[in-house]
């Protein structure tokens, strides 16, 4: 099934967020999106086509969503997505699948640090509950649309660094 526009996904659509460890160049971004488009256009679960979409934000974040109303995502189809993304990591020389680091905004720059380093920055006062963070653990498109992805650290799980 051909991919659909990300905006056409329902709020309850399944969501994966892949965060690059650096900004992608225009060429890298085009290559990534072309490969992802080809993948999701043929993506299936138990032989049924998945209605999927993708979106790219800030030259760093790739969203992939699936409307599970017609066909639900299976373990094998999720494995296929992860394999595809790991292959793209190798091709582009960029980390995409590691969900451990924290990404946040300081002075309009997106930074990426370990959770331990984020906690240190919180103790130092460099990041505060008001710091904008990216919650890449969201599982549904509606959570993204409701403002839970790019949010204040105090409104996300990241706020634990301040207690």
Residue 127 is predicted with a pLDDT of: 96
Q: Any bridge partners for residue 15, and if so which?
A: 65
Instruction: Supply the mean pLDDT for the chain.
Output: 93
Which of 71, 92, 113 terminates a domain? The answer is: 92
Q: Is residue 150 part of a domain?
A: yes
Shared domain for 76 and 28, answered yes or no, is yes
Shared domain for 22 and 42, answered yes or no, is yes
Q: Is residue 128 part of a domain?
A: yes
Is there a contact between 49 and 71 (Cβ–Cβ < 8 Å)? yes
Shared domain for 73 and 51, answered yes or no, is yes
pLDDT tens for each residue of 74-102: 888 999 999 999 999 999 999 999 999 99
Q: Any bridge partners for residue 1, and if so which?
A: none
Domain count across the chain: 2
Q: What average pLDDT does this structure show over 110-134? A: 95
Shared domain for 111 and 85, answered yes or no, is no
Q: Kindly state the greatest CA–CA separation across the chain.
A: 52
For residue 108, the enclosing domain spans 102-162
Question: What CA–CA distance (Å, rounded) separates 143 from 155?
Answer: 13
């Amino acid at each position: 099934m051909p991919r659909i526009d990300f905006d056409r996904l329902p709020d309850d659509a399944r969501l994966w967020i892949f965060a690059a460890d650096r900004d992608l160049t225009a060429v890298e971004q085009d290559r990534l999106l072309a490969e992802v488009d080809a993948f999701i256009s043929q993506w299936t679960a138990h032989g049924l086509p998945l209605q999927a979409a993708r979106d790219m934000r800030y030259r760093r974040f790739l969203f992939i969503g699936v409307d599970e109303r017609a066909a639900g995502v299976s373990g094998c189809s999720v494995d296929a997505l992860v394999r595809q993304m790991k292959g793209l990591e190798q091709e582009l020389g960029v980390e995409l699948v590691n969900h451990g680091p924290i990404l946040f905004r300081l002075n309009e720059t997106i930074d990426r640090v370990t959770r331990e380093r984020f906690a240190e920055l919180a103790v130092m006062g460099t990041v505060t509950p008001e710091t904008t963070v990216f919650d890449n653990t969201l599982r549904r498109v509606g959570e993204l649309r409701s403002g839970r992805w790019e949010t204040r650290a105090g409104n996300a799980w990241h706020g634990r660094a301040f207690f």
